[in-house]
Amino acid sequence: MSLRRVSVIGSGNWGSTIAKIVGCNIQKCPGFEMEVRMWVFEEMINDKKLTEIINEKHENTKYLPGVRLPCNVVATPDLLHATQDADVLIFVLPHQFLQRVCHQMKPALKQGVYGVSLMKGLALSENGCIRLLTDLIREQLSIPCAVMMGANLASEVSQEYYCEATIAAATLDMGRELKQLFQTDYFRIVVIQDEVGTELCGALKNIVAVGAGITEGLGYGDNTKAAVIRLGFMEMKSFIYEFFGDRNPQESTFLESCGVADLITTCYGGRNKRMGYALATTNEPLDELEREQLGGQSAQGPLTAYEVYNMLKSRDLLSKYPLFTAVHRICTREMPASEFLSCLANHPEHR
């Protein structure tokens, strides 16, 4: 039997961290090709190409400085070179590039290849409806696509701090192979089958985190924050059943790492919470806050809140989702942050 080849598409801090894990694991797994190609969007760092730096120093000095990559992880700027021989494609790139990347790799994919997405976010379809990133991969490339989500800040995983992740895969074989690739002593994997619930938890939790940050910014304590986290959790659940119920999301998914654990981590740290805090403690518009505090990068939560808001509005469902709705309105500054909690006073959960 020929050896199976794994490629990583993307090389940010999470992509590099995952390349490190997969590279190490493959050295112990006889069924795999030793080399793990990592597609890098080429850029120049002090007159030197990033791919060359990675391949010479075995370190992504720009996005994951200080962490040594195993020698079998090979950076390449050539997308086709990275993807054409692969049996497993790990998608871990900023999702605004996904469509273009899929388009470029499509002509030269190997028979039987499948993907696994580590991307957190949503796409929009032409009619303004929310679309899963994995559906975009599935449809554009005509391949199956699993997901891996969880409470996994790259900075902590790359330091080998104990944590968990959830892999959702439609078939047991895929789940088993992915667990073999990703699990380590410190990075513990639970495999489930609910791909849709897993992916949506990863995206929707960012809205809740903005809400948690608003609560903090308003000066409330841990109880209030816990109430906001829980109500957000219930809206996530309700939203998933409402719009993706036909794809069989599972109640138990919400208690996996991709659900409750990722939600907690995101509500206590990270840029979405930070933006919520800033929205409650300043009067500046969101893009100004992102410029100042995130060096111009976007937080995912406000964007997801906007997409979700439009979908809810078009179906006349805003009143069922007061937390999602309030977060969106506070992000756009239509509503003062100080009104956040009064929007939750008559939450459908309390009827």
Q: Which residues are catalytic?
A: 205
The reply to whether 265 sits near its own copies by the rule CB under 8 A is yes
Between 189 and 218, how does the x/- string for binding to its own copies read (CB under 8 A)? xx----------------------------
The reply to whether 254 sits near its own copies by the rule CB under 8 A is yes
Nearer to its own copies, 41 or 268 (CB): 268
Distance CA 58, CA 142 (A): 34
> Which residues 6+ apart lie within 8 Å of 60 measured at CB?
11, 13, 16, 50, 53, 54, 67, 69, 75
Strands (E) located in the chain: 6-9, 36-39, 44-45, 48-49, 73-76, 88-91, 114-117, 122-124, 130-132, 145-149, 163-168, 187-192
The reply to whether 49 sits near its own copies by the rule CB under 8 A is no
With CB under 8 A as the contact rule, the residue among 84, 224, 293, 310 that binds its own copies is 224
Between 146 and 185, how does the x/- string for binding to its own copies read (CB under 8 A)? -----xxx-xxx---xxxx------------------x-x
Q: Please, what is the minimum distance in Å from the beta carbon of residue 156 to its own copies?
A: 4
Nearer to its own copies, 61 or 183 (CB): 183
Q: Are 208 and 267 in contact (CB under 8 A)?
A: yes
What is the Cα gyration radius of the chain?
20
251 CB-contact burial (10 Å; exposed 0-12 / middle 13-18 / buried 19+): exposed
The reply to whether 262 sits near its own copies by the rule CB under 8 A is yes
Nearer to its own copies, 53 or 228 (CB): 228
The reply to whether 283 sits near its own copies by the rule CB under 8 A is no
> Which residues contribute to the site for its own copies (CB under 8 A)?
151-153, 155-157, 161-164, 183, 185-186, 188-190, 220-227, 229-231, 233-234, 237, 251, 254-257, 260-262, 264-265, 268-269, 341, 344-345, 347, 349-350
